[in-house]
Structures are given as structure tokens and as C-alpha cells.
Amino acid sequence: MADSPFWKTTRLEDMSKAEWESLCDGCGRCCLNKLEDWDTGEIAWTDVACRLLDPETCRCSDYANRQEEVPECISLTPQSVRSLTWLPPTCGYRLIAEGRDLYWWHPLVSGDPETVHEAGISVRGRTVPEAGLEPEDFEARIVEWPFEPVES
């Protein structure tokens, strides 16, 4: 057990800030605008990226100030990852919260932050910026997210 990685031995609530942050695989999917059907609660994914999403790195360009810049940005916490229905099924936070393991392409497993992109999991090259779009335009931008992971 001593050789097991921290995500297999540490509860989400007990992780250090660095451990918590490292669970993010860098896919960028949580930074996409989503539409929710008010009647059914069903989530429709779009390819419309938050204005702070860097389309090349799939990371927030102003992570420290994101909630001041984008008030609707939701911080992930151990409690919220257990209840948010829009987290992708491949999300490291969601997987660990569900008692599952990380995929082979997760940077903590592969040791390489590029594998999430190479495996086709990230939004790199698949988004449009929200600038210039009205929220009513988002419906025309619904896409089939998330993609299933490529097996190693």
C-alpha cells in the first residue's frame, strides 16, 4: 500500500491543494458552456469555450482570478464533484469520487500532460470562443461530448 499513488489512498477531503489540483487532467471540458433542459435536467454539451479557456493548453488562462472574471464559474470541491451532473465521465475528480481509477492517459498516470490530448479526450482544436456569441446561439453549437477514451 505504501507504493500506491495518493489518489488511491487519500480521500478527496484529505488531499493537499497540490494533490487536488493535480487530479485535473487538462481536458478543458468543464470550461465549455453547457445547456440544461429546465424540465428534464438533461445537459447538452456545446463546443463554446469559456472566454478564459486557452484553446491550445485547455487550461484556464486566469485560474487564480477566474471567479472574479467569470462569476458563473463553479469551483470544484470534494462535495461538488459528487453532485455535479455535467462533469465528464472521464474527469479525474469524478472518477476518484466514484471510487474508480484514472485512465492511462491522465498525466498522473502517464507522466505526460500531452497524453490527454493524444488520446483525443481534450477539447484542443474542437472549440469556438464564446466572444461574439449570444447565449441563444449556443443551441446551434451542441455537440456530442464527451468522447469515449481511446484504450491504450
pLDDT band at residue 150, thresholds of 50, 70 and 90? very low
Specify the 3-state DSSP secondary structure of 53: strand
- Between the alpha carbon of residue 81 and those of residues 93, 109, 131, 132, 152, the distances in Å are 6, 20, 28, 31, 26
Asked if the model's pLDDT at residue 104 lies above 70, the reply is yes
Convert the pLDDT of each residue in 36-54 to its tens digit: 888 998 888 999 999 999 9
Convert the pLDDT of each residue in 117-129 to its tens digit: 999 999 999 999 9
> Any idea what the Cα angle at residue 35 is, between residues 113 and 49, rounded to 5°?
35
According to the model, what pLDDT value does residue 147 have?
Answer: 57
According to the model, what pLDDT value does residue 152 have?
Answer: 43
Asked if the model's pLDDT at residue 85 lies above 90, the reply is no
The alpha-helical segments, DSSP class H, found in 23-77 are 66-69
According to the model, what pLDDT value does residue 49 have?
Answer: 96
Please state, as a whole number, how many other Cβ atoms lie within 10 Å of the Cβ of residue 55: 16
Convert the pLDDT of each residue in 127-137 to its tens digit: 999 999 998 99
According to the model, what pLDDT value does residue 13 have?
Answer: 96
